[in-house]
Amino acid sequence: MSSKLHTLWITCALILLAIAVGGRFARCDSRRSAQPARIATASHEFTSSPVTEERFRESFSPKRNERSPRYPTALATEIERPIAQSDDTVEEQQPTTFPATRVVLRAKVIDRRSGAPVPWVRVAASRWETTHPAYVAYAPASLAAAGAIFASDQQGNLQISNVPAPGMVTLRLAARGYEEAEVGPLYLPESSPLHEAVFLLARHPNIVGRVVYAGSRKPAGGVRVEARGEASVFRTRVITATTAPNGHFELVDVPSGRTHLVFTPPAGAPYLLDVSVSPGEENNLGEIELPAHGARVVGWVVRGTTNQPVTSATVYLHPNPPLEGESRRTETDGQGRFAFFDLSNGPYTIELAQGAGPADSAGQMPSLAPRTQLVRPLMLASGEEREVVLRVGEVTARGRLLRGTTPAAGTLYFSRGAAGLGVTRVAHVGPDGQYELQGLDSGAWLVTLRGNRGEYARESVVIPSVSVWERDFSLPEGRVVGRVLTEDSTPAAGASVECSLVYDHPYQDFMDPHVVRSRTKSDGSFALGPLPPGTYTVRASHPTLGFGNSDLITVPQVGDSAPTEIVLHAARPATLRSVALSFETGQPIREAFLVLYDAAGRLGRTATRNDAGVATLEGLAPGTYRVHVSASGYSSDEQEIPLREGEIREIVSVLGIRGALRVFAEDTTGRPLPRTRIVVRPVGSAALDTVREGTTDEGGLWITRALIPGTVEVEAFFPDGGSTKLSTTIRPRETTEVTIRPRR
């Protein structure tokens, strides 16, 4: 009996032990199954926090899987850290708008110069697009939105798995110490599950040089050197260094392209140097000479035709980018004189803020209303001494701003000269519609009207030589009306319609278009306005129904145009890519501006460039466009481009480094001399290829652009029959200003 009881006890113990062991394994399995979900949740929270190098490396884990939200724009920002692929990943529901076939893109990323692998490469942005009719409506999108998985390592291997196919992929690659590079589009067919490629990255270049003082050639130690550029290039980062006692300096990891260097000595004015940095190499600038003294601006404020000095007038001098610092302020003395000293070379704006109105009955000069201003741009050379005359007219302009017959609130901009390139005066108009501006010159002005409801118009006026000039301005009330239909005459509801306003300005290629937009109603009808009178082309588009352009439409000053119908064609949009290269260096020009003109000659679309010098315009309706590529300091390029349905068209523009010349013609008292003939002739073979000739406007100003750097001779033929000749130097990417007067 005892043996049977002993056997029973042993059997019960074994059963209890088995139950305990089984429960332990069950708990372990439950923890394993819960671990990926917790990791995925932590990964999702991590993407919203800043990315550091340490976290970048720590995130290289075989059990991480992330998804980013879908981005409707072109290159959408991707996950900022590498993610390793693993079979043990969290299953997530994939969007049904992408192809079901998935492929793998595997690439080797190497240094462009040394051929060494680039470690820890990340995909900063991506774009997936397709021409497949079933999915084209959902493209472009980012790879993260398609559920792609990213992986990279220290040996320069980059792998992107779970990529939808068929499709085209464009990537923006980034790595520490390297320039960002855009690669693609890479076509990934569905027939091959694995695609291999080799990508090249160039290191951030360095800038070295030696700073000396002009004249003595002594090394300048302790000089602060700053590298500044556009925000899109430098990411709001300023790279700094300090010269050694022997004057040498080195700036490390400077992005390539156009860079502004600012040299600030311990005492004296800063010196600005504009350089073009070549990628992936050391850029040696040699010796940089600091001027013995800064630039100086000396000027006078005078009144009208009498040239009487204006006393106690406040004058401001504002530095313009890339210059930095606070604005300077001074007041005119008893002779109307003012001065600014120890200035850096570069662009400025001089502003006459008060004390410039016509004299009152007591002979005192009242201040201008705080809502008005008188401004003039200045480009100072190193160590230059510039004389400036700010002239205050004796005409008072007053009147009303109307919307039909009702007073309207808004703003009036009076810009001197027919093209509006001279000084600008501003009047803010209240609800009563009344405006008044004192101290205007007689002559041609360009008036820009802006209403408080979005109205916009420009009008040229000529102010006579009177004490009070009264003029009412009317805001435009014209509209384009019509309907948008599909090819089977069905009304297209929710379609986007837009048109660009008229520009007539010498700098129109550097200006963003003023676009008026609207959407169609349920019956396909639309009303687009208000628009100034003129001829327009209306563009219509719909995400799924296609594109369409109207015929030329005439808009009256008040009222609606003749009804127009725009037919949408179910065509795949076209894409235009523009590459701008420097003729001298062959390097991309990042600051080049791309402008697209529509059939009516209006500004339709504009675009800036990425770090590779490429500008992209997507979603274009098939048709013929005029493309204008320009950059400050370079020549321009203009082409007529036909775009076909679904086409990705790439054009290359080679721009030469150029300069500009602004000539101010004045009499011996500083009064502008309009209708003065200016002739610019080359001096030597390196100057101009042709002779330039023109006539000054009502403000005494004449401008010519796209000049080859070198020495030129400027001759002015004044209306009284006299002439004056002088020489000046055209510098690349700079606007040279000269003031020419008759001989005494």
pLDDT in tens, 403-444: 988 999 999 988 877 666 666 778 889 999 999 888 787 888
Q: Which residues contact 285 (CB under 8 A, 6 or more apart)?
A: 207, 208, 209, 273, 275
- How high is the pLDDT of residue 632? 66
pLDDT at residue 76, as a whole number: 37
Q: In which residue are the tokens 């509006």 written?
A: 420
- Rounded mean pLDDT of the chain? 75
- Among candidate residues 183, 164, 211, 172, the one with its CA nearest the CA of residue 73: 172
For the entire predicted model, the pTM comes to 0.46
pLDDT value at residue 313? 83
CA distances from 142 to 277, 505, 628 (A): 32, 39, 30
State mean pLDDT over 525-542. 86
State the pLDDT at residue 19. Answer: 62
| Domains defined along the chain, listed by start | 53-85+99-201 (2.60.40.1120), 206-290 (2.60.40.10), 295-392 (2.60.40.10), 395-474 (2.60.40.10), 477-655 (2.60.40.10), 659-740 (2.60.40.10)
Categorize the per-residue pLDDT at 27 as very low, low, confident or very high, splitting at 50, 70 and 90.
Answer: very low
144-181 pLDDT per residue, tens: 877 888 888 888 899 998 888 888 888 888 888 787 88
Q: Which has the minimum average pLDDT: 29-43, 107-121, 233-247, 530-544?
A: 29-43
pLDDT value at 556 more than 80: yes
pLDDT at residue 690 greater than cutoff 70: yes
Give the separation between CA 385 and CA 194, rounded to whole angstroms. Answer: 67
Task: Quote the percentage of the chain above a pLDDT of 90.
Answer: 9
Per-residue pLDDT, 172:
85
Can you tell me the mean pLDDT for 336-341? 91
Q: Supply the pLDDT for residue 507.
A: 47
pLDDT above 70 covers a percentage of the chain that reads 74
Please tell me the least confidently modeled range out of 261-265, 306-310, 629-633, 737-741.
Answer: 629-633
Cβ-Cβ contacts under 8 Å for 512 (sequence gap 6 or more): 603, 606
Sheet of 456-463: strand order equals 424-429, 410-416, 443-451, 456-463
Q: For residue range 198-249, list pLDDT tens digits in order.
A: 888 877 778 888 999 887 888 889 999 988 765 444 444 678 889 999 999 9
Quote the DSSP letter at residue 613: S
Give me 674's structure tokens: 């309009």
Mean pLDDT, residues 465-470 taken together: 87
In angstroms, rounded to a whole number, what is the distance separating the alpha carbons of residues 545 and 552?
22
- What pLDDT score was predicted for residue 526? 94
pLDDT band at residue 281 using 50, 70 and 90 as cut-offs: low
Half-sphere exposure of 314 (CA within 13 A, CB side): 12
Please tell me the predicted confidence (pLDDT) of residue 470: 93
β-partners of residue 384 are none
Mean pLDDT of 83-110: 59
| pLDDT given for residue 60 in this prediction | 33
- Dihedrals φ, ψ of 474, to 5°? -110, 130
With H, G, I as helix, E, B as strand and everything else as coil, classify residue 29. helix
pLDDT > 80? residue 685: no
Instruction: Name the least confident of 37-51, 128-142, 501-515.
Output: 37-51
Q: Are strands 181-188 and 76-77 parallel, antiparallel or unpaired?
A: unpaired
Structure confidence at residue 510 (pLDDT) = 45
Which among 229, 227, 57, 76 has a CA at the least distance from the CA of 140?
76
Higher pLDDT, 36 or 692: 692
The pLDDT value recorded for residue 139 is 53
Q: Are strands 424-429 and 410-416 parallel, antiparallel or unpaired?
A: antiparallel
Q: What is the pLDDT of residue 94?
A: 38
Task: Give the per-residue pLDDT at 84.
Answer: 32
| Of 390-404, 467-481, 603-617, highest mean pLDDT | 467-481
